[in-house]
Structure 1
């Protein structure tokens, strides 16, 4: 059964959704203060939908647009990540549609 759009995601699920390794997401958490998934007492990370969109948006900035981490941090700071989240949501929507189109 597929998870709903508002479901929390594990680090492995998010990594698969945006096409990076889990260790990359863990590194991004150290570099981007806006990327803060919930952590359970046992250390497992759970990404909220806004976290997933932000991670996907960071991927767009770094991989597709060629920004440095510093440049991406500045981009997020402009509007607290809203534009970056929108880019990430658009990326995820395209990837979600791709197999069926």
Structure 2
């Protein structure tokens, strides 16, 4: 059976994040608002746990800034456009495209 709520200690163990980091993220990201139980302890829903893992991925793995993470949480992940690439990268991709088209014609 799936658990309905997780304590801060459980979330900390599952995510590898210290409790002070979780509390700080509550202040930083308005989407993360765990409820408090009758004893005043934070309890996290499954969706909040998933959000914590997402924020951690964006900050730690993808190296987004706090502002960048907030932008993604608000508006969704930005799509890379070819125009976002440097001129050198665009040139390289263009040359690769020509090479692959030539290769395809030979097959």
Determine the structure 2 residue equivalent to 1:92.
none
The answer to which structure, 1 or 2, has the higher relative contact order (CA under 8 A, 6+ apart) is 1
- Residue number among 12, 29, 34 corresponding to 1:15 in the alignment: 12
4+ long deviations beyond 3 Å? none
Q: Is the 8 A contact 1:5 1:49 kept in 2?
A: no
Matches within 5 A, 1:82-101: none
Give the alignment's TM-score, normalised by structure 1. 0.70
| CA deviation after TM superposition for structure 1 residue 41, in Å | 4.4
Q: After superposition, where does 1:1-101 map in structure 2 within 5 Å?
A: 4-79=1-76
- Would you say how many aligned residue pairs link Structure 1 and Structure 2? 77
**Over alpha carbons, which structure has the higher Rg?**
2
- Residues 8 and 48, structure 1, Cα contact 8 Å, conserved in 2: yes
Q: Which runs of 5+ in 2 are unaligned?
A: 78-107
CA–CA separation in structure 1 for the residues paired with 2:51 and 2:43: 14
